[in-house]
Amino acid sequence: MDINSANIEQIVKQVLAQMNGGTVSAKTGSSGTVPKTAKVAVLTKLEHFDIKEYPIPEVGDDDILVKVEGCGICGTDAHEFKRDPFGLIPVALGHEGTGEIVKMGKNVKVDSAGKPLKVGDKVVTCMIFKDNPDITMFDLNKQNVGGADVYGLLPDDDYHLNGWFSDYIFVRKGSTIFNVSDLDLDSRILIEPCAVLIHAVERAKTTGILRFNSRVVVQGCGPIGLICIAVLRTMGIENIVAVDGNDMRLEFAHQMGAGAHVNFKDHKGIEELTQGVKDAFGGYLADFAFQCTGSPAGHSNIYKFIRNGGGLCELGFFINGGDATINPHFDICSKEITTVGSWVYTLRDYATTFDFLKRAQAIGLPIKKLITHKYPLDKINDAFATNLKMEGLKIAIVNN
């Protein structure tokens, strides 16, 4: 065992804290101790963050204080930034975050999967549970966690340290937290969006149609669609066609495992586009489709790409994106399409995601290249501007 002086110091601190019945702390920051205040990016009005400074609350017996290392910008963050559809302003956003435990209550021993937890561990949060017995760690098929709360989309309160776009985040009793110390920072930033796709693929598998040799079309090659391709590829599915209107994203789709692509801008009308998909599959329609765009027109089109008896997973509509027009007879009934919806994830999907990230890297998928831009916290308005201009893929806030 390699026990250096830093390890010994940490072990001694934990033992002393437990003997005293108090919290466990770690040295952090230039002063050598946990600071008294933290900087938080607060969305104070549409399309504008202010950097505010708040006192760091006292850590209770069941609480955890985490020093934030980084957080990705999600499409949901962008919607809140532009339109405040959830009515949360002022709000501390950021739910794709990760960081290091610097202080924890005496009752905190293990994470949500039963793995030991200590000061210095790298962690991610999942959800803050409400009183709902149907949401459990080990039951995949009851409910997703869409009815729970999430850090980064909480109403402002006396804690203020409620989102990952900050220096520190205050993790309270009733939260889920996972020890991910065996993953590097970029991988940890990608856990939350990857969990979305792990869940979607698990939902797709319930149809019995998605198989090892399936022809699969993935429509929409933003971060969600690209991760979808990577998840399918780690399952051994090779016959994947990507559909998008951006050549750069389509090229990245190939790096993530797509065998062919179709740029919808090169085709006039749905019939020509459908033929383009068939040509990419060697004259066949898809056995299964993933619709990742959040576009009503995209949803209307996707049925045309699927063979009789095929399957569809719709996961693009994380918020109300408007109504889509379909023909129930031609699109669903006569083709006997099996459709599943996917939204967020379960706790088990979160745990599965850690193994997916390791597997993706092991087979050479450049999953971490999804993070194309990194900004410091004080440049968060610039980061969101870059996100809205679609100049990259995943934009992240990373603290020094």
pLDDT digit string, tens, across residues 277-329: 999 999 999 999 999 999 999 999 999 999 999 999 999 988 888 999 999 99
pLDDT digit string, tens, across residues 325-344: 999 999 999 999 999 999 88
Q: Is the confidence at residue 171, as pLDDT, over 70?
A: yes
pLDDT digit string, tens, across residues 284-294: 999 999 999 99
Strands 240-244, 216-219: pairing is: parallel
Return d(Cα 294, Cα 222) in angstroms, integer. Answer: 11
Tell me which range, 12-21, 342-351, 359-368, is most confidently predicted by mean pLDDT: 359-368
308 burial (CB, 10 Å; 0-12 / 13-18 / 19+) is: exposed
Domains of the chain: 5-182+366-398 (3.90.180.10), 196-341 (3.40.50.720)
Average pLDDT over the chain reads 90
pTM score above 0.85 = yes
90 upstream amide cis, omega within 30 of 0: yes
Q: Is the confidence at residue 175, as pLDDT, over 80?
A: yes
Average pLDDT over residues 104-132: 90
3-class SS letters over the chain: CCCCHHHHHHHHHHHHHHHHCCCEECCCCCCCCCCCEEEEEEEEECCEEEEEEEECCCCCCCCEEEEEEEEECCHHHHHHHHHCCCCCCCEECCCEEEEEEEEECCCCCECCCCCECCCCCEEEEEEECCCCCCCCCCCCCCCCCCCCECCCCCCCCCCCCCCCCECEEEECCCEEEEECCCCCHHHHHCHHHHHHHHHHHHHHHCCCCCCCCCCEEEECCCHHHHHHHHHHHHCCCCCEEEEECCHHHHHHHHHHCCCEEEEHHHCCHHHHHHHHHHHHCCCCCEEEEEECCCCHHHHHHHHHHEEEEEEEEECCCCCCCCCCCCCHHHHHHCCCCEEEECCCCCHHHHHHHHHHHHHHHHCCCCHHHHEEEEECHHHHHHHHHHHHCCCCCEEEEECC
Q: What are phi and psi of 140, to 5 degrees?
A: -75, -30
